[in-house]
Each structure stands twice: as structure tokens, then as C-alpha cells.
Amino acid sequence: MSLLEVLNQWQAEARAIRRRIHRHPELGFEEKATQALVVELLTAYGVDEICTDFAETGVVAVIHGKLGPGRRLGLRADMDALPIDEENTFEHRSGCAGKMHACGHDGHTTMLLMAARYLALHRDFKGSAVLFFQPAEEGVGGAERMIAEGALERYPVDACFALHNMPGIPAGHFAFREGPIMASSDRLFIRVRGNSGHAGLPHKTRDPLLVATHIYQGIQGLVSRTFSPLEPVVISVTQIHGGETTNAIADEAHLSGTFRTLSEDTRRNLIQRLETLVPNLARAFEMEADFRLGPVSHPPTVNSPAETALAVRAAGAVAGAEGVDGNTEPLMGSEDFAHFLGRVPGCYGFIGNGDHEPGCSLGLHNKKYDFNDAIIPAGAAYFVTLVRQMD
């Protein structure tokens, strides 16, 4: 029986697992029930080692092949949900107000669990598979924390791979690219300090909202007049706050937003320019302003050449050559798997969640999004094939 035939036989169980996780979403570093379910299933599948020492709710599992020594391949799935109120009405909708699996991490976890089941049962590969079930991908630093706490020191791997579902790509098709595939992500926070007073006597005040608007325009000018149009840079100031009433000049104004690049050099250059622009614009108006980054940043997600070729080959064995795009466009969203790829070579790619299928083409983070259970066997088969291809 072929790999996909075996995995298709497990589809009903896989769907039940995925929907169970969907019904009980948990935010970053809160994935206690998800962690317990993953450990329970991995134990039942007979993996060789299970560790829950990292990032509060993370799980690492090891499966050894029976075909002799070889490389250690890392496979990663994210487990956390988003702080979104789900608007679906199906039976497996979220049972937790204000929490929802709107990005498909329930499906990613299930795909890796099905791969673990197959690998532990058959062990028809060399070396070892190391499975990272990672918490807190959604902007709160789960990958960085697992690595900082020594996950890659205790469980070193020669390469690491991850998949993310993508609405708009036909179900079960794959997409990869060598080099940057996802952008860096930083959050910017700016505080402008002025001098409040009566709105009818503005000359006796220092209006921080005036400086805030100049800073906003200056930031937009950084993109259009400083960086090459061939080098993607996105800066979005999404909030400006200041003032308390209609007849008083504020004493402070606050700006916040995000910026993204596909190059770490460009990211560092942009940070340096913001550190220069913000205080000097304020100083021109006899005020003060400071710029800071948020607590969590993601570098660009950059796929290494050899591992991208390996990923394309593995996906082709599952979906056929016509079902694999090896040169997909990069996205300006971010992914904290970038921290893994900053330590070991590897490849991050996409599996299609559906293009025109009803209910399967809604965008990620949409309140009516749902993961397409039909793609679980293909995703699991991709992970298994990667492990089998390693020597």
C-alpha cells in the first residue's frame, strides 16, 4: 500500500483530531490542552522520545529510523490560535469566546501528528526525525523562546522544514521558493513629547500632533526616496493618538505600526534611519521624540538552496510536478520559523488550502476561515517523504 493510501485510511481519525483542536483553541503559551493531546497521541504512536521542557507548552519528539545512521531532520508545526471571535456555525466551531484557529495551526499540528504516526509505525528511513510542536507563533515569540531555551542544542538537526496552509492555492498543491519567502516583522512605537496648553493660544504651546504628522510623512518618504523600488519595504503607521479634548493642545502624541522587509540588511538600515529621523524631526520643532521596537521581532524567512530543492522534490512525489510551484512569490507577512532557519538550513513552504472549494478559500485570520481537512494526508505525506529522502 502506498504512503498516501495509508494516510487516506487515517483521514477520519485525522479529521476528528483537527476538529477537536479547533473546538478548543488556545493562545500563545497557553496551549496546555493541545500539548496534552499531542503528548497523548505521540505516546500512543510509539515515538522514541517526548520532551515538554521548552517554551512552557512546546513538545519535541524523536523517531529513529531502522535503516541505519543518517542525518537528523527537523519538522515543525505551530499550535496556537488567535484572539478572534469565530463567526462559523458548524459543529466544530470554537467553544472559547474570543479565541479561534483562524490560521490553520490546528491543521498543521494534525499533519505532523499523522506524519509521526506513519514514521513511528514504519521507520523506513535512515537517521532520525525530530518533531517540534511549537507554541506561540502568532507574534509572541514561541520559536525564539524554544531556541533560546536550548531546543536545538538538546535536539540538534541538520535541516528543518515547515508547512503553512494557504487559501487561494489549489487544495493539496505546494509552493516554495529559494531565498526570502516571508518578510521580517517589527512593531514600531513612537512617543512625541510637547507642551500642552489652550487651543486658542497655540503659540504658547508645543503641539506634539504637528510633529506626529511630520514624522508620519517622513516615514513614508523613507520608503519612496531612500530604498530601491526593487527592494520590498513596507511601513504602515496604523495608529496615531493624542489629546483629550477639543480645546486643549495635547502634551504627548503616540504613533505605532509595523514594518517589513525581505532582507536583514535592509531591516537594519531602516531601523537606523528611523532612530535618526524621529528625534531630529521633533528637535526641529523644539520638542522631543523617541523611537523603539516592540518586544518581539521576526527576521526574514529565508530558505536555503539545497533544502528548497529537497522540498520541491518531496512535494512533487506527493502532488506530481504539476502540483508544485518552485518559484512562488514571497509574501510580506512574517513567520517566526525564521528563527529556526537562522540557526539551521531548511525550507518553509505552503500547501494549498483550496482555491474555489466552498469554505476553503477564505483568507487567513478571517472570522469564517476553516482549515481544509482534505489536505491533511498530502501534508503528512510531504513530511514523511522529506524524512525518507534524507541520507
Cell (9 digits) for 347? 525550507
pTM (whole model) above 0.85: yes
Q: Which residue has the cell 496552509?
A: 165
**Helix intervals (H) in the chain:** 3-9, 11-23, 32-45, 105-122, 142-148, 151-154, 208-226, 264-284, 305-319, 338-341, 376-389
Q: What amino acid is encoded at 209 in this protein?
A: L
Residue with cell 538538546: 154
3-state secondary structure of 313: helix
Residue 1 has a pLDDT of 83
Cell numbers at 1, concatenated: 500500500
pLDDT means per 10 residues in the chain (391 residues)? Answer: 95 98 98 98 98 98 96 98 97 97 98 98 97 97 97 98 97 97 97 96 95 96 87 94 95 97 94 97 97 94 98 98 97 96 98 82 91 97 95 70
Beta-bridge mates of residue 67: none
pLDDT at 225: 87
Give pLDDT, residue 362.
Answer: 85
